[in-house]
């Protein structure tokens, strides 16, 4: 159970830290964090948790990562459902915590609540096709970096830094397109509070990251046959 508890806590931190920066800090222009600050927040949640729980659960924090690692032969299929369940529950509890904090302000307006979307719910008005391609490609690259950074042949001890910076870069590129998911647990957690519009588009933020994660794993296996 330690592995699942670690995944719960780690995903809780990812959603609270990443989405919290968007909902709380980015709402105040005078703080100046903007897209860059939110991008860093997501990267830092993964970096800090990778050091904290990487040795316990592997620090997936993301169903797409779990599927990708399974496709790469580095994760047992029987662990998929327990890991994904822990990740989704951790995200939901974090979103509930964030809602309680955010709604403590007298003029609180829910808005998008850091949810993901395409079309009229995309920050930049990008189409469904653009969102689909973006999420698949970004998640594929994320898995490619994860597998390379955690390879036995990679320099030891640096994987959390590479993975955290990769997630930061992913957000810098894709926040305008989908508000950046690459993580079904993160998308599900906030969509439950954002309402029906976010929920109606949630399918894409499960399908695209999982497809991308598997593709990234297969490409890495083809590139590094001795992983």
CA distance 10 to 22: 18
HSE, side-chain direction, 13 A CA sphere, residue 112: 17
What pTM value is reported for the model? 0.95
The answer to whether 24 touches 101, Cβ cutoff 8 Å, is yes
Q: Which of 201 and 225 is assigned the larger pLDDT?
A: 201
Question: For 65-142, where are the E strands, in sequence order?
Answer: none
pLDDT of residue 30: 75
pLDDT of residue 225: 77
CATH 1.20.1080.10 given to domain 2-223: yes
Average pLDDT on 60-83 reads 97
Where along the chain do its domains lie? 2-223
Residue with the two structure tokens 């957000």? 171
Average pLDDT on 74-88 reads 97
pLDDT of residue 200: 97
Average pLDDT on 157-176 reads 97
């Amino acid at each position: 159970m330690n592995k699942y508890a670690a995944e719960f806590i780690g995903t809780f931190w990812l959603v609270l830290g990443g989405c919290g920066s968007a909902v709380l800090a980015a709402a105040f222009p005078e703080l100046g964090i903007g897209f860059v600050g939110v991008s860093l927040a997501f990267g830092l949640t993964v970096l800090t948790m990778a050091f904290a729980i990487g040795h316990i659960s592997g620090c997936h924090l993301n169903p797409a990562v779990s599927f990708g690692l399974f496709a790469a032969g580095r994760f047992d299929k029987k662990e998929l459902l327990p890991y994904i369940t822990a990740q989704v529950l951790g995200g939901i509890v974090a979103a509930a915590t964030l809602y309680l904090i955010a709604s403590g302000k007298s003029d609180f307006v829910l808005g998008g609540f850091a949810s993901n979307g395409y079309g009229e719910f995309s920050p930049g008005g990008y189409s469904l096709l653009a969102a689909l391609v973006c999420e698949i490609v970004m998640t594929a690259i994320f898995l490619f970096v994860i597998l390379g950074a955690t390879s036995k042949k990679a320099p030891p001890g640096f994987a959390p830094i590479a993975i955290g910076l990769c997630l930061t870069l992913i957000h810098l590129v894709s926040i305008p397109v989908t508000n950046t998911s690459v993580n079904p647990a993160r998308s599900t957690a906030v969509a439950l509070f954002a309402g029906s519009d976010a929920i109606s588009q949630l399918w894409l933020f499960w399908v695209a990251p999982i497809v991308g994660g598997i593709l990234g794993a297969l490409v890495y296996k083809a590139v590094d046959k001795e992983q």
